[in-house]
Structure 1
Amino acid sequence: MELPKNLLPDEANPDWMNKADNAWQLTAATLVGLQSIPGLVILYGGMVKKKWAVNSAFMALYAFAAVLVCWVGWGFRMSFGDKLTDFWGKPVVALDEKFLLDQAFLGYLPSATMVLFQAMFAAITLILVGGALLGRMNFRAWMMFVPLWLTFSYTIGAYSVWCPDGWLAKLGVIDFAGGFVIHLSSGVAGFTAAYWVGPRAAKDRERFPPNNIVMTLAGAGLLWMGWTGFNGGSPYAASTDASLAALNTHVCAATSLLTWLALDTVFFGKPSVIGAVQGIITGLVCITPAAGVVQCWAAILMGTISGSVPWYTMMVLHNKIKLLRHVDDTMGMFHTHAIAGTLGGILAGFFAVPKLSRLFYMVPDWQKYIGLAYGLQSGQTSAGFRQMGAQLVGIFFIASLNIVTTSLICMFIKLIVPLRMSEEELGIGDEEVHGEQAYALWADGLRFENSKNNSVFDASADDHHDFPSSFVTQTPTELEMI
């Protein structure tokens, strides 16, 4: 019996490639990309004060583009290529067709697909780091920070945890889709960089209202739905484990949202929309290192924990610890990513199911991936404690790595350009930094003035333009607000 013609191998479809896996992986990569562009661009642009909407969104857009170029230049092979040390790969390009069209080191798909998928992971990590720095980092310093941090921090974490030759991978650390490599690292790095960059302007720290909550919700929604590709794509196969990972992701996020919402309502008297967004994010982050290796009921428990512990650290503990008060972490990345990522790593080591670990890792020594709960149940207590120990070692390494490398990078950049904007830029915002504003504000009888660097409207004929009342977006009183 012959295969249908569309399934027969040919030059463009070698016999080792699974078309379904490859199609899903390309789709998953696109979903992860949408989390950043436009997801986090919209979320950041809406969640900050109006005068910082352009700068915040642009930091995300720049990071996405810069990471992709660096990734094919050297980042991918340093993260997943030939061994240089136990924690780093050799800096080699991923540009030639021979490498890109050959089978990837994992899965039944070409390396080009693997490079693209992992590029989306690397890009969103840098954008998350930027979330702690909104509203004051010198954009030129950010332009330098992105490639340096990708090269000297992200690649080390990715190689150590995910590359088969990495020392944490050999130790047996469970990080299904980036709880350590992406979220713990971005949370710690963002907090560390925020320390070196310094705080926002005093007025911004005192009052920093979102300029568009509905837009923030839209960005959070793209982030949430895109997580189907984030966790569902991590098995590199259109498999049963990918399905479980996607389901667990959404169940955990929903539970976390509801938990955060309940705590806000009980203790503050009002259900907060921004609080709900934080709850979504902490749930997504917490389930990420465990998504495909835990039961669905465990995902609900993880959602309850991720919606309560980060809520406590952000809403209560933050005001009691001097260091947390001192460091100006704009989006609270320490709480939503460092704390939630740590919780996810620990809970992965507790709830991991041996059978699910076997379905994900598909390696001969899969027995070493056993959660403490199942170790206690099956009489393999030492194996369960060994797994918890491996998780804690991974957490300590990633946190320490990012404190050290991020500090060194910031100190180096400071020798070349200021890390922080000037006082004039801090006071004015987007108009001074980029010569552009997020919203064109006008109303009946009110004339729109072009910014000094406006790429949309032609100011060559006249410095002023009249617009019909149908384009009115905000009231004159809002126009006067900064």
Structure 2
Amino acid sequence: MSLPSNLMPNEGSPEWMNKGDNAWQLTAATLVGLQSIPGLVILYGSIVKKKWAVNSAFMALYAFAAVLVCWVGWGYRMSFGEKLVFFWGRPAVALDQKFLLNQAFLGMFPTATMVFFQFVFAGITLILIAGALLGRMNFHAWMLFVPLWLTFSYTIGAFSVWCPDGWLAKLGVIDYSGGYVIHLSSGVAGFTAAYWVGPRTTKDRESFPPNNIILMLAGAGLLWMGWTGFNGGDPYIISIDASLAVLNTHVCAATSLLVWLFLDILFFRKPSVIGAIQGMITGLVCITPAAGVVQSWAAILMGILSGSIPWYTMMVLHKKIWFLKQVDDTMAVFHSHAIAGTLGGILTGLFAEPKLNRIFYDVPDWEKYIGLAYGFQTGRTTAGFRQMGVQLAGILFIIVLNVITTSLICMLIGLIVPLRLSEEDLEVGDDAIHGEQAYALWGDGQKFENSKHNSIYDIEESSSTLPKAARELQMT
């Protein structure tokens, strides 16, 4: 019996390609891309003070574009290509059709799909780092930071943990979808970079209200729903494990959000919207290294812990530890990504279920992947402790890597351009940096507020074009 004509292999659809897997992988990649563009662009542009809305959103937009060009130029093959050393790949372009149209190193789809899928993960990592630097980093310094950090930090973490030739991958570290490579990396790198860049102005640190809470929720919603592709795409196949990963992702996020909300109400008597978003993010981060290798009851437990432990470190410990108070981490990425990512990695080492690991990894030595809890249950305690040790080794490696590389990159950039904006520009914000403001007060984009680009004369000259009510307000 022959296949239907639409399933017959041809030059554009070779025998090794699964059309369903390829379609899902491209869809999952797009969902992850939407987390950044427009998700985090909207979230960052809305959660900051009005004068920083344009700059914060544009830092995310720039990073997304710059990472893609660097990724196809050299980043992808440094992360997933031929081994240069045990922790790093050899740089090479990913632009030739002969390379891109061949089967990917994993999965039944072309390398072009894999390049795009892995790019959106690299892109969001840099954007998460930006969250720690909002409201004071020199944009020109950020333009240099993005390609340098991608090249000398992200590619090392990705190759070591995810590439089959990477040393942590060979040891058997479990990082299902980026708890180490993306979230722990961005949390540590963001906090380290925030130390080198320096703080916002005293006025901004004391008062930094969101300029649009409704839009902030819209950006957060795109981030949450986009996580379906973030964790659901990492089996590289349409499988029962992908379905479980998606369900676990949302269960953990919802549980974490509710726990954080209840803690805010219990201790501060107010149900904070920003707090709920933080709880959502910590839940998503915590489940990421475990999404498809733990049972759903474990996802609930992980949500309880991810909604409480980062809450405690952010709301209590941060105010007591001197060093944490000295570093101005605008979006608290240290707590929401570094702490939550570390927690997720440890809990993965505890709850990873052997059968789910077999389904996900589908390799001859799958038995080495076993959570400590199941090691006790099955009498394989040595294997369980080994897995926990590998998880901790991965955490330590990512922390040391990012503290060192991020510090060196910041020091190098500081020799070329200032890392921090001038005090004058910090007072003005968007208008000083970009010559643009997020919100016009009335039609046609006229500005009523005085700025370094507007004189009193300019305002008086343009007042005849303002609505009557605005002119009367101006006269008073």
Measured against the shorter chain, the TM-score band is over 0.9
How many residue pairs align between the two structures?
A: 465
Kept after mapping to 2: 8 A contact 1:435/1:452 = no
What residue in structure 1 maps to residue 272 of structure 2? Answer: 272
- The correspondence of residues 174-213 of structure 1 with structure 2, limited to 5 A, is 174-213=174-213
Structure-2 change in CA distance of 1:301 and 1:467 (3 Å): farther
What residue in structure 1 maps to residue 249 of structure 2? Answer: 249
What residue in structure 2 maps to residue 110 of structure 1? Answer: 110
Task: Measure, in 1, the Cα distance between the counterparts of 2:73 and 2:403.
Answer: 25
RMSD value, Cα: 1.9
What residue in structure 2 maps to residue 167 of structure 1? Answer: 167
Kept after mapping to 1: 8 A contact 2:440/2:447 = no
What residue in structure 1 maps to residue 238 of structure 2? Answer: 238
**Deviations 1:421-473, CA, capped at 9 Å, x for gaps:** 00001111001111100101139xx975798889xxxx9xx856846799x9x
- The correspondence of residues 50-89 of structure 1 with structure 2, limited to 5 A, is 50-89=50-89
3-state SS of paired residue (1:290): coil
* 1:238 CA displacement: 1.0
Task: Measure, in 2, the Cα distance between the counterparts of 1:171 and 1:363.
Answer: 14
What residue in structure 2 maps to residue 389 of structure 1? Answer: 389
3-state SS of paired residue (1:84): strand
Structure-2 change in CA distance of 1:447 and 1:115 (3 Å): closer
Kept after mapping to 2: 8 A contact 1:447/1:465 = no
Amino acid at match of 1:81: G
Unaligned runs of 5+ in 1: 478-482
Amino acid at match of 1:138: N
Task: Measure, in 1, the Cα distance between the counterparts of 2:296 and 2:468.
Answer: 53
Structure-2 change in CA distance of 1:138 and 1:371 (3 Å): same
What residue in structure 2 maps to residue 316 of structure 1? Answer: 316
Is 1:300 aligned with 2:304? no
* 1:339 CA displacement: 0.1
- The correspondence of residues 365-384 of structure 1 with structure 2, limited to 5 A, is 365-384=365-384
Structure-2 change in CA distance of 1:221 and 1:468 (3 Å): farther
Task: Measure, in 1, the Cα distance between the counterparts of 2:126 and 2:416.
Answer: 21
**Deviations 1:88-142, CA, capped at 9 Å, x for gaps:** 0000000000000000000000000000000000000000000000000000000
What residue in structure 1 maps to residue 357 of structure 2? Answer: 357
3-state SS of paired residue (2:289): helix
What residue in structure 2 maps to residue 400 of structure 1? Answer: 400
Unaligned runs of 5+ in 2: none
Structure-2 change in CA distance of 1:213 and 1:11 (3 Å): same
**Deviations 1:323-350, CA, capped at 9 Å, x for gaps:** 1100000000000000000000000110
3-state SS of paired residue (1:289): coil
* 1:392 CA displacement: 0.1
Amino acid at match of 1:159: F
* 1:25 CA displacement: 0.2
Task: Measure, in 2, the Cα distance between the counterparts of 1:442 and 1:9.
Answer: 59
What residue in structure 2 maps to residue 333 of structure 1? Answer: 333
What residue in structure 1 maps to residue 258 of structure 2? Answer: 258
What residue in structure 2 maps to residue 140 of structure 1? Answer: 140
Amino acid at match of 2:301: L
What residue in structure 2 maps to residue 124 of structure 1? Answer: 124
What residue in structure 2 maps to residue 480 of structure 1? Answer: none
Kept after mapping to 2: 8 A contact 1:282/1:310 = yes
Moved over 3 A (4+): 446-454, 462-470
Kept after mapping to 1: 8 A contact 2:107/2:236 = yes
Kept after mapping to 2: 8 A contact 1:436/1:451 = no
Kept after mapping to 2: 8 A contact 1:447/1:464 = no
Kept after mapping to 2: 8 A contact 1:56/1:134 = yes
Kept after mapping to 1: 8 A contact 2:178/2:288 = yes
What residue in structure 1 maps to residue 431 of structure 2? Answer: 431
Kept after mapping to 1: 8 A contact 2:428/2:451 = no
Kept after mapping to 2: 8 A contact 1:126/1:186 = yes
Amino acid at match of 1:91: P
Task: Measure, in 2, the Cα distance between the counterparts of 1:215 and 1:466.
Answer: 30
Task: Measure, in 1, the Cα distance between the counterparts of 2:251 and 2:193.
Answer: 33
Task: Measure, in 1, the Cα distance between the counterparts of 2:440 and 2:233.
Answer: 40
**Deviations 1:351-406, CA, capped at 9 Å, x for gaps:** 00011011111111000000000000000000000000000000000000000000
Amino acid at match of 1:442: W
Structure-2 change in CA distance of 1:447 and 1:158 (3 Å): closer
Amino acid at match of 1:439: Y
Structure-2 change in CA distance of 1:258 and 1:90 (3 Å): same
Task: Measure, in 2, the Cα distance between the counterparts of 1:169 and 1:372.
Answer: 18
Structure-2 change in CA distance of 1:299 and 1:204 (3 Å): same
Kept after mapping to 2: 8 A contact 1:449/1:463 = no
What residue in structure 1 maps to residue 442 of structure 2? Answer: 442
Kept after mapping to 1: 8 A contact 2:51/2:430 = yes
Task: Measure, in 1, the Cα distance between the counterparts of 2:323 and 2:283.
Answer: 25
What residue in structure 2 maps to residue 344 of structure 1? Answer: 344
**Deviations 1:153-198, CA, capped at 9 Å, x for gaps:** 0000000000000000001000000000000000000000000000
Amino acid at match of 1:401: L
Task: Measure, in 1, the Cα distance between the counterparts of 2:371 and 2:143.
Answer: 41
**Deviations 1:221-273, CA, capped at 9 Å, x for gaps:** 00000000000001111111110000000000000000000000000001100
Kept after mapping to 2: 8 A contact 1:154/1:181 = yes
Kept after mapping to 1: 8 A contact 2:432/2:452 = no
Task: Measure, in 1, the Cα distance between the counterparts of 2:462 and 2:363.
Answer: 67
Structure-2 change in CA distance of 1:469 and 1:302 (3 Å): farther
Task: Measure, in 2, the Cα distance between the counterparts of 1:189 and 1:447.
Answer: 38
- Percent identity between matched residues is 77
Structure-2 change in CA distance of 1:330 and 1:465 (3 Å): farther
Structure-2 change in CA distance of 1:7 and 1:374 (3 Å): same
